[in-house]
Each structure stands twice: as C-alpha cells, then as structure tokens.
Amino acid sequence: MFHAAFFWGLVLIGAGGLPMGLSADPGPDPFRLDMCDTRETRGWSFYCRPPEPAVEEEDPVPEVAAPPPAPEAEPEEPEFPATEEMMAFRAYVDELKYRAVLDPTEENVRAYIEVQQAMIDQAGHFTDQWQRIIFKTPELSALDDFPMSSMGIGVYQDQMKAARDETFRQVATEAGIIFIFEDDATCGLCRAQGEVLSQMEEWYGVSILAVSRDGGRNEWFPEAVADDGRLADLGLADYPAPTMALAVPQTGEVAVMGTGLLTADEILDRTFVITQIPVGERY
C-alpha cells in the first residue's frame, strides 16, 4: 500500500505540479508516472481530461453580395373590371336588403330604399341611351322587321298572310299533305282536323293524302286509305294521330308539319317556315 503523502506526490507530479520540499530540477533522468497516457491508468486519475479535438481550418467562404431587393409588384388590374364592380354592387345591395329584413329599423329600411331608387335611376339612364342609339342605327332595330305598334302589327300581319298564301299555293303545285288519322269515334281531333284540311283542299287546291292508322274512317275523307306499312317506310309510324306532313312525290322528301289539331293559319305559317326560311334565321 502506498503511503498517502507519496501517493499525492505522484498525483501532483503527473498533473505537472511540484510537491513542497522537492527540487524543480530532478536531474537528467527524472522519475515520471504518466497516469493519463494509458487507458488502464487513466481511470484512476480524476483530473485527466480528454484531449481537445484538433480544429480543422475551413476554407474561407467567399462573400457573396446580397441580391438587391425585388421591386414591389404593382397590383394587377382586374381582367373584367366592370363585372367585378357590378358583382360588388350586387353584394352591397343584398347586404342592405338582408340587413333591413333582419333588423327593420328606420335607418336600415331607408338605406335599402335609397339604393333601390339609385338602381332605378341608373336603369333609366341606360334605357334612354339605348333608345337614342336605336333611333339613329336602323340595323340594330328589330322594329323594322317586327313592328310593335297596333297599326304596324296589322300591316305586318297582312303582309305575312299574303306571303304565306302565295307560298302555300306554290307549294301545292309540287307537294301534298299527308294526313294521318284514326277513326272519328275514338279521335275527335282527327275529325276536326279533317274538316280544316278539307277546306284548305278546296281553297288552295292542295292534294291531301289521308291515311288511317287503325283502318277507321274520317267523315271528311271517306276515300282515305288504310296504312299497309307505308308509314313505317316514311318514318311516320310512331307519330300520334292526327299528324300532318308535307310530301314531295318527285323527290320523296317528307317534312313533318306537326301533330295535334292545327288551324289553317298554323298550317300556312309552318309551310312557309319549312320551305322558305333557312334553319337558324327565323328570329
């Protein structure tokens, strides 16, 4: 067992210190006990500290100049400013209305009435400008073709009736009307339609081919033929009774005019539309 004083002296020597009474110069071959050098002795020396890791010198990072601040983006103009303004105004009007309904104080109701009046005034300005443009721009006015006054309507109707009559007379020279019906006893509309067509046959000289779907009779066309499958060939088998169709014998063209009870004026008008007005140009 080591003497305590000797032990502490060894510890102080290992730590680099000198015990009291010992020379600082121990001679050419001094005794040395490095207890921090090996793993076995290092555990007994509480003052041993692990060696500090070597600090590796890092390559200096070149300084990069900071980019200039980006210019502040200007607010984009709305793509449809008038639409956005109108939508915002509508939302404002709705807010005033709902507020007045939910809390009908004098102030809230008055605010809604005032905004309604402002809308009426604005609509009046719009209508006034619209009319003034129509006055001086006839190609934008529908009144030239479709007059709205009572006198204008009368003149327009007379002109159209004359045009329809002339057209029907011309069509009657090349085409006839197929009249599909069922027995008078079960189809009252068929009997009434037969009367209308019989009168037009007399007035305009148009040929009427009356075809009975069920083999029944029609008072106005006693010599009608029963369908023997020809309606299916023409694509008319599934149409209800009564049905009228324009047919051109020379070409085999068939154009359905309508189903149900049609007046003479309606037949004239539909004939005019089918034969004289291209699709998409009626209005």
For residue range 202-238, what is the model confidence (pLDDT) as tens digits?
999 999 999 999 999 999 999 999 999 999 999 999 9
Tell me the pLDDT of the chain averaged across its residues: 80
Q: Can you tell me which residue has the tokens 């190609």? A: 139
pLDDT given for residue 248 in this prediction:
92
Among residues 204, 213, 123, 209, the alpha carbon closest in space to that of 170 is found at 204
pLDDT given for residue 136 in this prediction:
84
**∠ CA 150-156-161, rounded to 5°:** 125
Q: Report the C-alpha gap between 272 and 274 in whole angstroms.
A: 6
Could you give phi then psi for residue 174, rounded to 5 degrees?
-120, -20
pLDDT given for residue 65 in this prediction:
61
Q: What is the mean pLDDT of residues 180-206?
A: 95
Q: Per residue in 46-76, pLDDT tens?
A: 445 555 656 666 666 566 566 677 667 677 7
Helices (H), the chain: 4-14, 39-42, 81-102, 106-136, 150-172, 188-204, 230-233, 264-276
Q: Which residues contact 223 (CB under 8 A, 6 or more apart)?
A: 210
Q: Which residue has the higher pLDDT, 67 or 87?
A: 87
Q: What is the mean pLDDT of residues 152-176?
A: 85
If pLDDT is split at 50, 70 and 90, which confidence band does 21 have?
very low
Q: Give me the helix-helix angle, 81-102 and 106-136, nearest 10°.
A: 140
User: Which H or E run contains 145?
Assistant: none
Among residues 240, 247, 244, the alpha carbon closest in space to that of 264 is found at 244
pLDDT given for residue 76 in this prediction:
76
Q: What is the mean pLDDT of residues 83-107?
A: 95
Residue 148: pLDDT over 80: no
3-state SS class at 133: helix
Percent of the chain with pLDDT over 90: 55
Q: Report the C-alpha gap between 231 and 247 in whole angstroms.
A: 12
pLDDT given for residue 17 in this prediction:
43
pLDDT given for residue 281 in this prediction:
78
Q: What is the mean pLDDT of residues 17-43?
A: 50
